[in-house]
Structure 1
Amino acid sequence: MNDAMEGLTSRLTALAVSALGLTLAGWGGVAAQSQLFVSTAAVPGFSGQDEAREALERAQASAGFAQQRARQFSEAAANATAEVDRLANESAALAAQIQQSEADILVASAQLSLIADQRRALDAQLAEKQQPLVKLTGAIQNMARRPVVLSAFQPGSLRETVYVRAVLETTLPTIREKTAELRSEVERGRALERDAARTLANLQSSEAALQTRRNELTALITQQQQASRSNSAMARREAQRALALAEGARDLDELVGEFDRAGLVRSALAALPGPIIRPERPDASRVMPAAVQSARSQDTSPPGEFQLPVQGRTLAGFGATDRAGMQSKGLTIAPSPGAQVVSPAAGRVSFAGPYRGFGRIVIIEHANGWTSLITGLARNSIETGDLVIAGAPIGTAGLSQPEIGYEIRESGNPVNPLNLL
């Protein structure tokens, strides 16, 4: 009798240990990962998975575009023969690399946010499955630990033990199945942990690259400014004239209108025919054909190689109505703090500086009567009178909830910037 009871108890113990081992295989992994995503559980900047996915797609596209522009500018700098052209393309290449690093940081942040959401959902599933398995394992352990002597003196204990054994043998496959699902989910959690570690490494690498490139750009801009100040007296006169216009203009629209008119006058003067050498005989004199003059003055094609001045989420589109009932004449973009702002196209800086509640603004005259207005800058790296190429660095956004406004006008009339992309 005792031998039979001992054998039966040993079998029960083996069954209990088997079930317990299966359960602990799952929950041991959960316990080992209890600190998973401590650094990523509350990634700021996204209200939900949809917003994070949208930001991820936008940032990946921006990173690819910035990388392509950086390569193009680097090639142009290598092929430039003039020092001023080399410096301009090098600074534009660095600005594009900075925007690429900013996009890479946003990609990593969005990925961390999505991984953290997946982990929270997984934790909830594991917690839901924990209680039944823990209770079942505890019951099996209690039965397996009951001394044989006590079982022998309890009426019907042998019958109950045989019954419990039969029940365990039929339920053990179910226990194995459930714990197999648990192990699969725990392995999924470990995969998420590895993804998070890689993403964090990418984030740290992008942040280091961003700081390095910003330092390089600052040094290059200083060198560029020193090289372009050969005619400082003319630059000072032009800056004083622009400042006088800014002080006299009643609002931003009037200010941009003044520079639009000045740009049109400058274009008209540039389109005039040049002097013709006096002929030897008066009857051989001639004038520039009118058709050539009109062809020069009527070209209204938009600036080539157009791009938005900064990467970010669009807060207000062209024609949107604000709280005051005014329609937007451009775009309002929310970039990352301290984001790099670049020239949307080649042109001449007609104004750069602070202006009446709009932060620092930059007005750029492009060819054929087009004008760009960028507002909300915290710092500008160009000055009035500078010539810029498309993608040249013109300043940076603020550090606290920055908003960059952008308008482009054709002969003074607002145009949707998105139509030019």
Structure 2
Amino acid sequence: MFGLSAAAIVSALLAGSTPDAVLGPPPARETADLRGALEAAELAAAEARRRQAELENRAEQASSSGERLHARIAALAAELQQGEAQALFAAAQLARVERRIAGLENTLAAEQAPVAGLIAGLQQLARRPAVLTLLQPGGLDDAVHLRIMLAHAAPVVEQRTRRLRQQLREQQELQAARRRAMADLRLRNEAIARLQAALGSALQQQRALAAEARQAAFREEGAAQELARQARDIGELVARADAQAALAARLAALPGPVLRPQAGIAAAPAIPVVAATTAGPDAPRPGAYVLAAVGEVVAGFGEIGPDGVPRSGLALRTRPDALVLAPASGRVAFAGPFRGHGAIVIIDHGDGRTSLLTGLGPLDVRAGQSVAAGDPVGRAAGQSMPLGIELRQGGRPVDPLAAAAAGRRVSPR
């Protein structure tokens, strides 16, 4: 009979009452991962802000239009990286709020189910004439039993109602936080788009000023492409670039006339940037190393890869089209596509140091071009292909993160 059904609902309500059945904190691992992402984004943004202020100061002190343009490009690149780091931070904040909302909605559904069942049962019972209840066998006993259970259930219902009101208020606050986080992320992305346009315009101006050096660039790029055709894999390509740089250094040290080197090994004269980095106390220290992009490390230096071999560099997951910078000053030994690695850039830093950047899309440099630390070299290909960063000294791998943290000349492991 229906009285027993309503009693069963009340019993279930009493048995399932748990005063602490509210939304708990997120799992420890999830909290640690999110905290790590936020801290990494904050550190990247702080470093980019420092570099941007330094470069803007250098731009103001530049004496020629070419120097000012080059310093302006470097400052825009630093500002863009700062914006990308802030966008990563905003995305992490939004993800945290979304997870809290999802957890709260699940808790609300679990809390509301027994109360909703009890209310529905009591409404049906209230619509039933009392005479029918008294005339049914056992109806009076059931009614007395139900009244006693409802008296005990009243405090539980009141407690659950208070808890539901609290959770509904929290849900409203979280939804407001989600709207704020989404608006913040939208503003960050709009700022990134504006900076990308400004940087692209400045790079076009620089390329226009460097038009007279393009012929030499084509010769240099042709020699680099010949290296790519001769190399069987990317490791051999880096080794060939190292050998080419070493040969050029030895030839430059020889007195008197220099014999023409062999084809495929010779390097055309390097194309200078339109304006060299301004010297002075604010200039980067010789050999200073900066991380090429903002992103999440998905494979660390020295980690054992699927092939059982320790990794010789880093792999970063970046924003699509993220800006990639030259980690240190030097000369571009190779810039172009390479099978299985997207577009790649090899930079010879001198003193036996070489950087390899893989997983790039559009490039802003070409072989033979001189770059300073922090100059844009291109854009990341996207999330489908991580950005690879390798640093070698004397042919031996060096941890790029340690080199960037040290901010000074590095030594091989």
TM-score (ref. length: structure 1): 0.71
Cα 1:342/1:160, change in 2 over 3 Å: same
Q: How does 1:267-416 map to 2 (within 5 A)?
A: 267=249, 304-399=287-382, 401-416=384-399
Structure 1 counterpart of 2:107, from 125, 138, 161: 125
Q: Which residue of 1 aligns with 2:174?
A: 192
Post-superposition shift, 1:231? Answer: 2.9
| Structure 1 residue 91 corresponds to structure 2 residue 73 | yes
Q: How does 1:50-61 map to 2 (within 5 A)?
A: 51-61=33-43
| Range with greater deviation from structure 2 (90-99 or 196-205) | 90-99
Cα 1:144/1:220, change in 2 over 3 Å: same
* Distance (Å, rounded) in 2 between the aligned partners of 1:199 and 1:348: 42
Cα 1:132/1:251, change in 2 over 3 Å: closer
Q: How does 1:74-85 map to 2 (within 5 A)?
A: 74-85=56-67
Say which SS state the counterpart of residue 172 (structure 2) adopts.
helix
Post-superposition shift, 1:192? Answer: 0.7
* Identical amino acids, percent of aligned pairs: 37
Say which SS state the counterpart of residue 366 (structure 1) adopts.
strand
Say which SS state the counterpart of residue 115 (structure 2) adopts.
helix
Say which SS state the counterpart of residue 334 (structure 1) adopts.
strand
| Range with greater deviation from structure 2 (164-173 or 201-210) | 164-173
Q: Which residue of 2 aligns with 1:292?
A: none
Instruction: For 1:88, give the aligned amino acid.
Output: H
Cα 1:375/1:159, change in 2 over 3 Å: closer
Q: Whose radius of gyration is greater, 1 or 2?
A: 1
Cα 1:222/1:136, change in 2 over 3 Å: same
| Range with greater deviation from structure 2 (392-401 or 63-72) | 63-72
RMSD over aligned CA atoms reads 3.5
Post-superposition shift, 1:116? Answer: 2.0
Q: Which residue of 2 aligns with 1:296?
A: none
Post-superposition shift, 1:273? Answer: 9.5
Is there any run of 5+ residues in structure 2 with no aligned partner, and where? 1-28, 257-284, 405-413
| Range with greater deviation from structure 2 (165-174 or 215-224) | 165-174
Q: Which residue of 1 aligns with 2:234?
A: 252
* Distance (Å, rounded) in 2 between the aligned partners of 1:248 and 1:385: 18
* Distance (Å, rounded) in 1 between the aligned partners of 2:140 and 2:222: 105
Check conservation: 1:67, 1:100, Cα contact below 8 A. Answer: yes
Instruction: For 2:113, give the aligned amino acid.
Output: Q
* Distance (Å, rounded) in 1 between the aligned partners of 2:238 and 2:144: 93
Cα 1:244/1:163, change in 2 over 3 Å: closer
Post-superposition shift, 1:272? Answer: 7.8
Post-superposition shift, 1:393? Answer: 0.7
Post-superposition shift, 1:399? Answer: 3.5
| Range with greater deviation from structure 2 (170-179 or 218-227) | 170-179
Cα 1:249/1:138, change in 2 over 3 Å: closer
Cα 1:236/1:140, change in 2 over 3 Å: closer
* Distance (Å, rounded) in 1 between the aligned partners of 2:146 and 2:397: 83
Structure 2 counterpart of 1:263, from 222, 245, 270: 245
Post-superposition shift, 1:362? Answer: 1.0
Is there any run of 5+ residues in structure 1 with no aligned partner, and where? 1-46, 275-301
Say which SS state the counterpart of residue 86 (structure 1) adopts.
helix
* Distance (Å, rounded) in 1 between the aligned partners of 2:313 and 2:135: 90
Number of equivalent positions: 348
Post-superposition shift, 1:380? Answer: 0.8
Q: How does 1:31-180 map to 2 (within 5 A)?
A: 51-138=33-120, 140-141=122-123, 172-180=154-162
Check conservation: 2:318, 2:383, Cα contact below 8 A. Answer: no
Check conservation: 1:303, 1:370, Cα contact below 8 A. Answer: no
Instruction: For 2:198, give the aligned amino acid.
Output: E
Cα 1:158/1:321, change in 2 over 3 Å: closer
Post-superposition shift, 1:160? Answer: 10
Cα 1:368/1:184, change in 2 over 3 Å: same
Instruction: For 1:71, give the aligned amino acid.
Output: A
Cα 1:270/1:76, change in 2 over 3 Å: farther
Say which SS state the counterpart of residue 62 (structure 1) adopts.
helix
Check conservation: 1:336, 1:402, Cα contact below 8 A. Answer: no
Cα 1:166/1:404, change in 2 over 3 Å: closer
Post-superposition shift, 1:134? Answer: 2.2
Post-superposition shift, 1:86? Answer: 1.9
Cα 1:354/1:165, change in 2 over 3 Å: closer
Instruction: For 1:394, give the aligned amino acid.
Output: V
Check conservation: 1:88, 1:389, Cα contact below 8 A. Answer: no
Post-superposition shift, 1:49? Answer: 6.1
Post-superposition shift, 1:202? Answer: 0.8
Check conservation: 1:303, 1:367, Cα contact below 8 A. Answer: no
Say which SS state the counterpart of residue 381 (structure 2) adopts.
coil
Say which SS state the counterpart of residue 333 (structure 2) adopts.
strand
Check conservation: 1:350, 1:385, Cα contact below 8 A. Answer: yes
Check conservation: 2:318, 2:382, Cα contact below 8 A. Answer: no
